[in-house]
Amino acid sequence: MENIYSGNEAVLSHVNYKYGPRVGKYGVDVASFDRVGVNALREAMHRKGCVIIDEIGKMELCSEAFRKAVAAVMDSDYPVLGTIPIYRHPFLSGLRERNDVTVIEVTASNRGRLPLRLVEMLGFANQASR
């Protein structure tokens, strides 16, 4: 993973990582994720614009700090674009059920049109034409 602003990098998971939670054959380095990934999310809340979270998946959900940072971003005034898997998880279900969340399933037939639709939904249509 990489913080695109600071350039900080860390390995989120690896088959040879023996400590921490496991997702499939991968060990998840939650401490490294918190240091780089969670800090990147917290820093994003101090910048003007949309907060993009790619992705809120099984490995990321191993971090309680990440779940709290996502909740804080979702409760903020920032527009948020996030990707979540289709499987059920209490935290993901809570996100899906929020009144301020629109879930769009990405399919082969709609994925080509999604960039423009998302720009319009997030209110950036005028900026995109500049």
Q: Name the average pLDDT for the chain.
A: 91
Class for the domain spanning 13-128: alpha beta
Is residue 35's pLDDT more than 60?
yes
Strands (E), 8-125: 13-14, 22-23, 26-28, 51-53, 80-82
Q: Can you give the residue ranges of every domain in the chain?
A: 13-128
Structure tokens at 76: 């903020």
CA torsion sign, 27 to 60 to 40 to 118? positive
**pLDDT-wise least confident of 19-33, 48-62, 88-102:** 48-62
What pLDDT, on a 0 to 100 scale, did the predictor assign at position 123? 80
Residue 55: pLDDT band by 50, 70, 90 thresholds? Answer: confident
